[in-house]
Amino acid sequence: MAETIIFQSLPSRPAPTQTEGLVPWAKANLFANWQSTLTTLVVGALLLYFIPQFVNWAILTATTVPNAEACRTPGVGACWGVITEKYRLIIFGRYPLEVQWRPLVATLLLLALLVASCTRAFWNKWLLVLWVVIIGTFFTLMYGNVLGLTKVTTDRWGGLPLTIMLSSLSMVMAFPLAIAVALGRRSKLPAIRTFCTIYVELIRGVPLISVLFMASFMFPLFMPQGVTIDVMIRVLAGLTLFAAAYMAEVVRGGLQAMPKGQAEAAASLGLSYWQTQGRIILPQALAMVVPSIVNNFIGLFKDTSLVGIVSLYELTGSLGLALNGDADWRPYKLEGYVFITLIYFSFCFAMSRYSLWIEKQVNKSKLR
């Protein structure tokens, strides 16, 4: 009988081609073949042409003096003076100038709340209490009429505080509603399923502008005489219903993607419908659709600019408000738009970065 051969494993060796470092990276990503090289050169040339021009306009020849005369001097580039002059109007809209500390404090509190809500250390039941307290404080500060604060009606609220409040509140309300509707569309009960389907199809079938328009002008017609609901509430409801319909479909997509075995295993362990959804299905389904949900949130944040249709002047609206009526500064709207673009961008970019972090958190269990 032949002797048994002892198996010996080979030691692992480093990969033959270097993939890390600047030169290998550029070789792989910028100059891999002639098409890639050509694209790199064309894009590089365009950047070389446009970037200096933009820098020249935005920085080198720009002026920051809040003086329209100075801006009209030939050869002067961007007129940032318009921001220095009008920033309070752009950021706070028509809110009375002398009490603008109130929206400032209210918005900072709201932002702090949003940051806290995104931080793992705050994820416990006290966060809910914190939400109630801060939202209460927000509206008290904004509306006033108590504690010696003068009353400021909602039609005078505006600018960034309005953008942030409308988008964050409608996001927070739309999310659970979307989950409920998504579960409803998969319900075994035909009445619930039909109702949820009609809701989603109806809302998705019309533009946000008409939803806001209806919430603002048509809804009051159906109310009993003498009963009025503040336009702010109606707009919030409109935004929430609109966002929830889209988000519900995203959530439903996640639910559909769940293997049937998960619900079966949960059922075989005796878990109830709600326990199964809450502890097994939703945590996994939502983790799958984090990018799409954040997509919806970012869209919603920018969609708030449409509330201008019902005469609420959020950030975009109050830019128009600040410049349209002022013949001196009206020509410098471009600079104004660059300014609010930066504001919008920083919020949206923060949301997109946060979504990447969340994705990393929820995918931890998939790492080997």
Partner 1 sequence: MSTTPARATASTKDIIVFDKVNKWYGNSFHVLRDINLNVKQGERIVVCGPSGSGKSTLIRCINRLEEHQEGHLWVDGTELTDDVKAIDKIRKEVGMVFQQFNLFPHLTVLENLTLSPMYVGKVPKKEAEEKAMMQLKRVRIAEQAGKYPLQLSGGQQQRVAIARALCLTPKIMLFDEPTSALDPEMIKEVLDVMVAMADQGITMICVTHEMGFAKAVADRVIFMDQGQIVEQNNPHDFFNNPQTDRSKDFLSKILGH
Binding residues with partner 1: total (CB under 8 A): 24
| Contacts of 12 by beta carbon, 8 Å cutoff, 6+ apart | none
Using the minimum distance from each CB to partner 1, give the nearer residue, 272 or 341: 272
284 binds partner 1 (CB under 8 A): yes
140 binds partner 1 (CB under 8 A): no
Name residues contacting partner 1, limited to 228-267 (CB under 8 A): 259, 261-262, 264-267
| From candidates 25, 115, 218, 279, binder to partner 1 by CB under 8 A | 279
**What is the Cα–Cα distance from 164 to 23, expressed in whole angstroms?**
44
3-state SS track over 263-298: HHHHHHCCCCHHHHHHHHHHHHHHHHCHHHHHHHHH
How near is the Cβ of 210 to partner 1 at its closest, in Å?
Answer: 40
3-state SS track over 189-244: CHHHHHHHHHHHHHHHCCCHHHHHHHHHHHHHHHCCCCCCCCHHHHHHHHHHHHHH
362 binds partner 1 (CB under 8 A): yes
Judged by CB under 8 A, the stretch of 29-37, 106-114, 234-242, 270-278 that binds partner 1 is 270-278
Name residues contacting partner 1, limited to 172-191 (CB under 8 A): none
Cα–Cα–Cα angle for 209, 317, 166, rounded to 5 degrees: 65
| From candidates 150, 275, 324, 341, binder to partner 1 by CB under 8 A | 275
How near is the Cβ of 262 to partner 1 at its closest, in Å?
Answer: 6
269 binds partner 1 (CB under 8 A): yes
* Alpha-carbon torsion (126, 131, 136, 138), positive or negative: positive
How buried is residue 63: exposed, middle or buried, by Cβ count under 10 Å (0-12/13-18/19+)?
middle
272 binds partner 1 (CB under 8 A): yes
How near is the Cβ of 193 to partner 1 at its closest, in Å?
Answer: 19
Are the beta carbons of 197 and 131 closer than 8 angstroms? no
How near is the Cβ of 270 to partner 1 at its closest, in Å?
Answer: 4
**Tokens 């409308």 appear where?**
166
Judged by CB under 8 A, the stretch of 89-97, 136-144, 166-174, 273-281 that binds partner 1 is 273-281
Terminal alpha carbon distance of the chain: 43
Using the minimum distance from each CB to partner 1, give the nearer residue, 205 or 261: 261
Are the beta carbons of 106 and 138 closer than 8 angstroms? yes
* Binding positions for partner 1, rule: CB under 8 A: 259, 261-262, 264-272, 275, 279-280, 283-284, 287, 362, 364-368
